[in-house]
Structure 1
């Protein structure tokens, strides 16, 4: 059995939804201190701040953890980076650690930041390394939240995590540089990953989670097609997909099944109907394991 640390806070809702869709639902007790997953491969489950998880996984308190790449780098945790999940607090996609100043500043590039500027951030180690590479001496102030609100009254520069930059702009700030792109990822304790039994369990859990991520972009289309329309319908299907074709009993019709990108369905279905397909069904997919 393996132990798992899941993130609390901004990544919590998306992570719990992912586990639920993977049939690994996290069930909580009355006080929420000791959640559980009813799966024979999983023993202990804890929900912790994502900032803490990489180090706890490195130290062996947990075999597996989910956190952001930003916190793996910030804590310099020696863990096995198993798989990227590419979701954030609002859904799919990555986030960025950026450098921003107040809009009133005549600064449009990080290289223009004045030496010894006051920099506030939740990422002091990443920030120290970044400005060190640039050769710009700065005064670092560790922020414990609402970093964007401290510029320009208390601080000159903010290094912050953002998805779209909207919150920074609303607070009168402008982005002048990007330090790194981050995403949610699965990390493992290195010793656990080398243990054959635990590695098997880890890889099976990762397969289920990645199967859900993959399925979110796809749907299954099924349809019946008269023999005379087969060539036209097949030509209308996405070129990179190989459909499953079987003849219907007793009539000159074929059944076609194929997986297609969800984003193209609204235009594809009318085209298939026009090409001669009938009884078209769009079926959601819960997991795709390739």
Structure 2
């Protein structure tokens, strides 16, 4: 029913992992040109350059695509951004398109950039609009990669995508402004979104993908608690909404279950034990569906 375009390159590994965890595993052929997903809602899968995906989805070659908001803006693609899925090549994260200058440059803010400066970027349309808004005429050249390496011999300024800024710093570049922030998006063709049958399938796939993302970094904690300690423990227990509490059969104990951040478990479990919780179990989660 649905044709889907998935990104290759830096987003590929994380995207394939996300789909696998959502029980939508992408199976590749030996050469990888025509992968498939064993799901009745999905008829075709292609893995393409992320720069191309918004345009192909907009033009109806695919019903659904995964790609960065930055490339949707750059290509001026007329698509429906169905869901924000903030993951990048190193995991969860937000990409920024930034303006960077040599660290020893006298330029401190965008307004200081001299007219006629040479600018290198992989997103020339977004960059052109940015400098037009500033009212600064510059010479923009398209970069095929390693944009940061072109300063200062070939260009004066770079407008580059970064997740942490570490590569720019290693190349002695200093960020002076952020042009836009971008996360990975689930995007749909407008006609497909307007089709009731396809929209239902898209919504179902979105539910699975977002369920995986919601579960990341969280675990389920269960424990048994004596009745006299119940209120005290519930008061210190984090939860998505409220913890689930049920009385154990023929006992003065209660069972408690709740979802908590994995990063806090090392502090939380000893505290729960000190407050009187017993039989504490920590379980990993694959999906949380709101």
1:239, distance to aligned residue in structure 2 (A): 6.8
Of 57-66 and 251-260, deviating more is 251-260
1:196, distance to aligned residue in structure 2 (A): 0.4
1:58, distance to aligned residue in structure 2 (A): 0.4
- Alpha-carbon distance between aligned partners in 2 of 1:237 and 1:266, rounded to the nearest angstrom: 14
Partner of 2:26: 26
Contact 2:240-2:258 at 8 Å conserved across structures:
no
User: Cα distance 1:239–1:88, how it changes in 2: closer, same or farther (>3 A)?
Assistant: closer
1:234, distance to aligned residue in structure 2 (A): 1.3
Partner of 1:288: 288
Deviations 1:10-52 (CA, angstroms, capped at 9, x unpaired): 0000100000100001000111000000001001000000000
1:238, distance to aligned residue in structure 2 (A): 2.1
Partner of 1:274: 274
RMSD of aligned alpha carbons: 1.0
1:240, distance to aligned residue in structure 2 (A): 6.2
Partner of 1:142: 142
1:183-222 counterparts in 2 under 5 A?
183-222=183-222
1:261, distance to aligned residue in structure 2 (A): 2.1
Contact 1:236-1:271 at 8 Å conserved across structures:
no
Partner of 1:232: 232
Report the TM-score when normalising by structure 2.
Answer: 0.98
- Alpha-carbon distance between aligned partners in 1 of 2:177 and 2:192, rounded to the nearest angstrom: 38
Partner of 2:242: 242
Contact 1:69-1:182 at 8 Å conserved across structures:
yes
Deviations 1:120-160 (CA, angstroms, capped at 9, x unpaired): 10010000000000000000101111111111001011000
Matched, 1:121 2:109: no
Partner of 2:130: 130
Partner of 2:62: 62
- Alpha-carbon distance between aligned partners in 1 of 2:279 and 2:241, rounded to the nearest angstrom: 20
Contact 2:117-2:156 at 8 Å conserved across structures:
yes
Contact 2:239-2:258 at 8 Å conserved across structures:
no
- Alpha-carbon distance between aligned partners in 2 of 1:262 and 1:38, rounded to the nearest angstrom: 31
Contact 2:239-2:259 at 8 Å conserved across structures:
no
Partner of 2:3: 3
1:115, distance to aligned residue in structure 2 (A): 0.1
- Alpha-carbon distance between aligned partners in 2 of 1:278 and 1:41, rounded to the nearest angstrom: 45
Which contiguous aligned blocks of 4+ residues in structure 1 show a shift greater than 6 angstroms? none
Contact 2:240-2:259 at 8 Å conserved across structures:
no
1:171, distance to aligned residue in structure 2 (A): 1.0
Which blocks of at least 5 consecutive residues in structure 1 are unaligned? Answer: none
Report the TM-score when normalising by structure 1.
Answer: 0.98
